[in-house]
Amino acid sequence: QLQLQESGPGLVKPSETLSLTCTVSGGSISSSSYYWVWIRQPPGKGLEWIGSIYYSGSTSYNPSLKSRVTISGDTSKNQFSLKMSSVTAADTAVYYCCSSYYYYYFALDVWGQGTTVTVSS
């Protein structure tokens, strides 16, 4: 059974870089059946797609965040990662990593539990 787990610092200073890792178990990030996706949710607000990576290494990003975001994969560790630069208080949110399975027409079928990131000095 596929499981995802986010990890990374819970507190980041303004203007610094947010770094999170998603560890995948029960499946492989090298599978052509999946996209691997980052989603965030600011306190009391809705869901926002940040970006994704495909097994081939190709990435896509939310145009509103593209200039600050990099998503990469590490097949040896079966992990994918998010880096977001120049963070501000507006980046405070719960960050989720998810899988997007072709069988479900790329809906987000498995979610990590989420990790809270606060941007504050």
Partner 1 sequence: EIVLTQSPGTLSLSPGERATLSCRASQTVSSNYLAWYQQKPGQAPRLLIYGASSRATGIPDRFSGSGSGTDFTLTISRLEPADFGVYYCQQFSRSQWTFGQGTKVEMK
The rounded distance, in Å, linking the Cα atoms of 81 and 120 is 22
100 binds partner 1 (CB under 8 A): yes
111 binds partner 1 (CB under 8 A): yes
Judge contact between 95 and 20, C-beta under 8 A.
yes
Task: Name the nearest CA neighbour of 89 among 33, 35, 18, 24.
Answer: 18
**Residue 16 or 114 with smaller CB distance to partner 1:** 114
109 binds partner 1 (CB under 8 A): yes
47 binds partner 1 (CB under 8 A): yes
Beta strands in 1-121 (DSSP E): 3-7, 11-12, 18-25, 34-41, 48-54, 59-61, 69-74, 79-84, 93-101, 108-111, 115-119
Least separation in angstroms between CB 96 and partner 1: 6
**Residue 13 or 47 with smaller CB distance to partner 1:** 47
56 binds partner 1 (CB under 8 A): no
Q: Considering only residues 48, 55, 68, 78, which one is a binding residue for partner 1 as defined by CB under 8 A? A: 48
The rounded distance, in Å, linking the Cα atoms of 120 and 108 is 30
Contact positions vs partner 1 (CB under 8 A)? 35, 37, 39, 46-49, 52, 54, 58, 60, 62-63, 96, 100, 104-109, 111-114
